[in-house]
Amino acid sequence: MAQGRSGIKGARIGSGPLGEPERGDLAPRVVASFWCGNGHHSQLSFAVEAVVPEVWDCAKCGLPAGPDPDNIPSAISNAPYMTHMGYVRQRRSQEEGEILLNEALARLRGNI
């Protein structure tokens, strides 16, 4: 029965040598700070050539975060989930629904 152990211990197959000299130098980076509506502060690093976005999703709560702690972007409101019946009730009143139901039942019964 196999025990699920690898012959190589302490290393992953395909992993390269550890350490920065073997991998090369890191690209120059700039650190940007973002604040969300719940007061969470995130510091992210971007490449110097990259454009730092105006809005970033907070890693802790998912709210939009901005670079200015005094001017925090507002959250986008999502409409709640509605069933098919909920959409039908938006378009038709109860009386109209009764009329349509009676017409459909009459058609099925062969009265029309």
CATH of the domain at 44: 2.20.28.270
Structural domain includes residue 3: no
Structural domain includes residue 14: no
Structural domain includes residue 73: no
State how many domains the chain has.
2
pLDDT above 80 for 73: yes
Structural domain includes residue 8: no
Whole-number Å distance between alpha carbons of 64 and 76: 8
List pLDDT tens digits, range 33-70: 999 989 899 999 999 999 999 999 998 988 999 999 89
Eight-class DSSP state of 16:
-
Structure pTM? 0.51
18 — pLDDT class (breaks 50, 70, 90): low
Report the candidate in 32, 31, 77, 36 with the shortest Cα–Cα distance to residue 60.
36
Structural domain includes residue 72: no
Structural domain includes residue 110: yes
Look up the domain containing 112 and give its range. Answer: 79-112
DSSP per-residue string spanning 23-65: H-PPPPEEEEEEEETT--EEEEEEETTSPPPS-EE-TTT--EE
